Structure 1
Amino acid sequence: MLKRFLKVLCIILVVLILAVVAYLIFMTVTDYKPEEVISLNVSDDTEQVLKKDTKISAMTYNMGYCGLDAGQDFFMDGGTGSRSISKEKTLENLLGMTEFIQSQETDFILLQEVDIKATRSYNINEYEKLKENLSDYSSIHCINYNVPWVPVPISKPHGSVKSGLVTFSKYKITETNRYQYPGKEKWPRQLALLDRCFIESKLPVEEGKELILLNSHLSAYDKGGTIRKQQLDFLKDYVSKEYDKGNYVIVGGDWNHAIPGTDSGMFESKQEWPEWLKEIPEDFLPEGFKWGADKTVPTNRTVDIPYEEGENYYSVIDGFLVSPNVDIINVEGQQLNFQYTDHNPVTLEFTLK
């Protein structure tokens, strides 16, 4: 009896090992390996050209794949959730965020974590639905998360993911590219993680200059911060070179760092500073560049637990970086109490000198 049990156990172990090996081979072969720079297409480009000394606005908003609403937690941050609670809730969150975005009537909209087809969001093409409702904008989409199957958590895997960044614009874009950030986690961990990048949009400005608008989403989970340092160094070098050419430069997005000039300690919370949250080094800021962030409104909550006012840890990790030739008129975070996603949106009003 014991021999038969051991034999069955050995067979099960061999099958499990073979399954894991087969999965790793499959994931390695199908691993998304984007080029360092990829040219992107603009959908429904407009003809309106930017003018100096005109008030312009931009919003950044991480949509959390329309599945990280106030009632949800997330497994990578210590919670148990791995998907939106239902297809209906996903659509409800998408509609709520879309209606808010429409109400703001900003000139540029920079979105992160917008799913094209993913298990976690019930295969809803969120980008297409956004385009339908924001038809007076041109738009660009690029992939930064393309994985056939994320096998964790075991009880309810995150599943297949195809997701990315989206930029909407009311002004003409002459060129747009996907720039891959440097740095990767070690194999096999990297196989199930995002390929971090930014969307570069070049917009003509009167008198021959250009506005370089970047939609960025930096890393959050690398231990030791080595990858994040590489990304910040790359970004600093890029924006400095563009400004030296005489261009206007604006970077908006989810920095996954506490933005300088903000103080997370001012927000009431029963949690401690989370391990993943880092500060942007003081030597990152290029000379003359300025931060655009609202220190009075948190833009992110911890997702190891669902949202409960005064319980989660709050921080300001979403905002803007602008070059010296951009004048900031106003920056306003919108306190939506994380109703639809684990982020709050931020709007920047500015002029080009």
Structure 2
Amino acid sequence: MLKKIIKWSLSILALILLTVGSYVAYLFLDYHRLEDNLALEVTNQTSQDEFAVGQTYSMMSFNIGYGSYPSDYSFFMDGGDEVRARSKKAVEEALAIDKDLITSANPDLILFQEVDLNGDRSQHVNQVDYFTQELTDYSWSFAQNYDSSYLFYPVTDPIGQATSGLLTLSKINFQEATRYQLPIDTDINKFFDLDRAYSVNRYGTNSGADLVVINVHLSAYTKNASIQKAQLEKISQTMESEYAKGNYVIVGGDFNHALNDNARNDLTWMKTFPVDQLPAGFSVIASSNAPTVRNIDQPYNPNTTLTGTIDGFILSDNIIVYKIETLSNDFASSDHHPVLMSIRLQ
């Protein structure tokens, strides 16, 4: 009898080890990154082909949290309880709230982050299709920055597979758009982080210079400070190169760094933004009327939830800023608020 118990126990252990080993092998074999310097397909469908110097334009940056984080949601990666969006209907309701915010603000340019093409976490709602079909007054480009294997974590409720990216919309037609890789962790963390990247979206102006708009989402959970520094260095090289050509340069998105004085250096996603790393001629532009992000370790409580400002813009000094504000709706549809800015090229 004892021999049978030992035999069965060893068989079960061998099966577990084989399953775990097979899954680890699958992760390594399936892992891939898109190539660097990748030309993006753009869909031009507006009647305007260039920005006008001296005219005021509005611009929005919005991390939509793949439509899965209503105000009463808490996320397991931040210490909360939930993993995936609660339902397809919940995702669609969140996207509808986002669309209403956008149509009310009516920006000329929109930089979205965390937009899922497909994903278990977002109940397989194609969010690129949703926004490009609902906001038909905009031309657009999409840069993928996440295409995970099936992540069997947490084991009891896996987050699964997702394909996601950066969506840029504009009322002015694109000249071109390009996706560039960002440095990421090379250890086991690479399986859980995004395939970090930024998109460089180029537009013409009536001055002959280009307007270069960079959509970015920097790493949130890495504890490797050298990775965060290297990401900023690569973006800065692009900024500096374009500025040296006489172009107008805007970087917008989710920087996962505090853009004002509310830094929390104990959190990997709200450390002080290293302004001293920026090239000459550039400034950080951040809103102060309301926070742009909340911690999702628990449902949102305006009195107790940790909040901060990590979404905003970096501008070259040939662009005038007239206004920047957070469009607060108490995090009704995302763990981020959109940020709206008014600018003029000079």
TM-score per shorter chain, which class? Answer: over 0.9
**1:264 is aligned to 2:265:** no
Q: C-alpha distance in 1, partners of 2:6/2:301? A: 50
Tell me the amino acid that sits aligned with residue 193 of structure 1. Answer: D
Q: C-alpha distance in 1, partners of 2:199/2:2? A: 61
Q: C-alpha distance in 2, partners of 1:72/1:24? A: 30
Deviation at 1:273, TM superposition (A): 5.7
Tell me the amino acid that sits aligned with residue 56 of structure 1. Answer: Y
**1:29 is aligned to 2:29:** yes
- Tell me if the contact between 1:45 and 1:173 (Cα under 8 Å) persists in the aligned partners: no
Correspondence 1:1-353 to 2 at 5 A: 1-48=1-48, 49-186=50-187, 188-259=188-259, 262-264=260-262, 274-353=267-346
Deviation at 1:69, TM superposition (A): 1.2
> Quick one: structure 1 residues 275 and 244, their matched pair in 2 at CA, closer, same or farther if it must change by over 3 Å?
closer
- Size of the aligned set, in residue pairs, is 345
Tell me the amino acid that sits aligned with residue 34 of structure 2. Answer: P
Moved more, 155-164 or 191-200: 191-200
Q: Secondary structure of the equivalent of 1:27?
A: helix
Q: C-alpha distance in 2, partners of 1:5/1:101? A: 64
Tell me the amino acid that sits aligned with residue 318 of structure 2. Answer: N
Q: C-alpha distance in 2, partners of 1:94/1:120? A: 15
**Structure 2 residues not aligned, in runs of 5+:** none
- Tell me if the contact between 1:272 and 1:313 (Cα under 8 Å) persists in the aligned partners: no
List per-residue Cα deviations over 1:46-66 (Å, max 9, x = no partner).
Answer: 341111000011100000010
Tell me the amino acid that sits aligned with residue 127 of structure 2. Answer: E
> Quick one: structure 1 residues 67 and 34, their matched pair in 2 at CA, closer, same or farther if it must change by over 3 Å?
same
Tell me the amino acid that sits aligned with residue 39 of structure 1. Answer: A
**Structure 1 residues not aligned, in runs of 5+:** 266-270
Tell me the amino acid that sits aligned with residue 249 of structure 1. Answer: V
Deviation at 1:185, TM superposition (A): 3.6
Q: C-alpha distance in 2, partners of 1:2/1:337? A: 62
List per-residue Cα deviations over 1:188-233 (Å, max 9, x = no partner).
Answer: 3312320111111000011311000011000011113221111011
- Tell me if the contact between 1:182 and 1:230 (Cα under 8 Å) persists in the aligned partners: yes
Deviation at 1:17, TM superposition (A): 1.5
Tell me the amino acid that sits aligned with residue 33 of structure 2. Answer: K
Q: C-alpha distance in 1, partners of 2:289/2:207? A: 37
- Tell me if the contact between 2:140 and 2:170 (Cα under 8 Å) persists in the aligned partners: yes
Deviation at 1:272, TM superposition (A): 9.9
Deviation at 1:182, TM superposition (A): 1.8
Q: C-alpha distance in 1, partners of 2:9/2:226? A: 42
Alignment RMSD: 1.6
Q: C-alpha distance in 1, partners of 2:219/2:79? A: 17
* Percent of paired sites with the same residue: 35
Q: C-alpha distance in 2, partners of 1:13/1:45? A: 59
Q: Secondary structure of the equivalent of 1:159?
A: coil
Q: C-alpha distance in 2, partners of 1:163/1:2? A: 52
Tell me the amino acid that sits aligned with residue 193 of structure 2. Answer: L
Q: 1:268 — aligned with what?
A: none
List per-residue Cα deviations over 1:172-199 (Å, max 9, x = no partner).
Answer: 211101111123241x331232011111
- Tell me if the contact between 2:115 and 2:164 (Cα under 8 Å) persists in the aligned partners: yes
Q: Secondary structure of the equivalent of 2:77?
A: helix
Deviation at 1:275, TM superposition (A): 4.8
Q: Secondary structure of the equivalent of 2:92?
A: helix
Tell me the amino acid that sits aligned with residue 171 of structure 1. Answer: I
Deviation at 1:150, TM superposition (A): 1.2
Q: C-alpha distance in 2, partners of 1:309/1:192? A: 30
Q: C-alpha distance in 2, partners of 1:303/1:26? A: 31
Moved more, 160-169 or 70-79: 70-79
Tell me the amino acid that sits aligned with residue 18 of structure 2. Answer: L
**TM-score, length of structure 2 as denominator length:** 0.96
Tell me the amino acid that sits aligned with residue 27 of structure 1. Answer: L
Q: Secondary structure of the equivalent of 1:219?
A: coil
> Quick one: structure 1 residues 28 and 309, their matched pair in 2 at CA, closer, same or farther if it must change by over 3 Å?
same
- Tell me if the contact between 1:263 and 1:315 (Cα under 8 Å) persists in the aligned partners: no
Q: Secondary structure of the equivalent of 1:110?
A: strand
> Quick one: structure 1 residues 273 and 306, their matched pair in 2 at CA, closer, same or farther if it must change by over 3 Å?
farther
Q: C-alpha distance in 1, partners of 2:322/2:8? A: 71
Q: Secondary structure of the equivalent of 2:72?
A: coil
